Chain A
Amino acid sequence: MPIYFLRRVLAAIPVMLVVAVFVFLLLRLTPGDPAAILAGDMATPEQLDRIRETLGLNDPLLVQFFRWIGALLQGDFGTSLISNKPVIDLVADRMWPTIWIAIITLSLSVIIAVPMGVLAAWKQGSWVDHLVMTFSVLGFSVPVFVIGYLLIKLFAIDLRWLPVQGYKAPSKDLAGFAARAVLPALTLASIYIALIARMTRASLLDVLNEDYVRTARAKGLTEARVLFRHALRNAAVPVMTVIGTGFALLISGVVVTESVYNIPGLGRLTVDSIFARDYPVIQALILLTSGVYVLVNLLIDLSYSLLDPRIRY
Chain B
Amino acid sequence: MAEKTLRGAFPLSTRLLTERVGIAPMIAAVVLALIILAAIFAPLIVPHDPILQDPVMRLKPPSAEYLLGTDAYGRDLLSRVIYGARVSLMIGIGVTIMAVVLGLAIGLVSGFFRTADAIVMRVMDGLMAMPSVLLAIAIVSLMGASIWTVMAAITIPEIPRVVRLVRSIVLSAREEPYVEAAIALGTSMPRVLWRHLMPNTFAPLTVQATYVCASAILTEAILSFLGAGVSTETPTWGNIMAEARIYFQLKPMLILWPGLALSLCILSINLLGDAARDILDPRMGKRED
Q: Within the complex, are A and B direct neighbours (CB within 8 Å)?
A: yes
Q: Which residues of A contact B (CB under 8 A)?
A: 14-19, 22-23, 26-27, 30-32, 124-125, 130, 133-134, 137-138, 140-146, 149, 153, 157, 202, 205-206, 208-209, 248, 251-252, 255-256, 259, 270-271, 274-275, 282, 285-286, 289-291, 293-294
Which residues of B have CB within 8 Å of A125? Answer: 286-287
- Asked if B129 contacts A293 (CB within 8 A), the reply is yes
- Across the interface, B141 reaches (CB within 8 A) one of A145, A208, A275, namely A275
Quick one: which of B138, B255, B274, B287 contacts A274, CB cutoff 8 A? Answer: B138
CA distance A187 to B90 in the complex (A): 28
Contact between B241 and A205, CB atoms less than 8 A apart: no
Docked CA distance A72–B32 (Å):
49
CA distance A27 to B137 in the complex (A): 12
Say yes or no: is B122 at the interface (Cβ < 8 Å to chain A): yes
Map CB proximity to A onto B102-113 as digits: 1 under 8 Å, 0 otherwise. Answer: 000000000000
Interface size class of B (residues with CB under 8 A): 35 or more
Are A143 and B241 in contact (CB-based, < 8 A)?
yes
Q: How far is the CB of B237 from chain A (nearest CB, A)?
A: 9
4 other contacts beyond A259-B226, A290-B131, with CB at 8 A cut-off?
A15-B122, A16-B129, A256-B226, A289-B131
Closest chain A residue, CB of each to CB of B269: A141
Given A22-B130, A275-B227, A289-B130, check contact A145 B218 (CB 8 Å): no
Contact among B142, B144, B219, B270 with A141 in the assembled complex (CB-CB below 8 Å)? B270
* A30 contacts across to B, CB distance below 8 A: 142-143
| Residues in chain B within 8 A of chain A (CB atoms) | 22, 24, 122-123, 125-135, 137-139, 141-144, 214-215, 218-219, 221-222, 225-227, 238, 241, 245, 248-249, 252, 255, 259, 262-263, 266-267, 270-271, 274, 283-284, 286-289
**Which secondary structure dominates chain A's binding surface?**
helix
Task: Please pick, from A145, A206, A291, A294, the residue contacting B225 in the complex, using a CB distance under 8 A.
Answer: A145
Q: Kindly state the separation between the CA atoms of A125 and B219 in the bound complex, as whole angstroms.
A: 32
Docked-complex contact B225 and A248, CB < 8 angstroms: no
- List the B side residues contacting A31 at CB < 8 Å: 142-144
Q: Are B132 and A252 in contact (CB under 8 A)?
A: yes
Contact (A140, B270) CB under 8 Å given A22-B127, A205-B287, A282-B138: yes
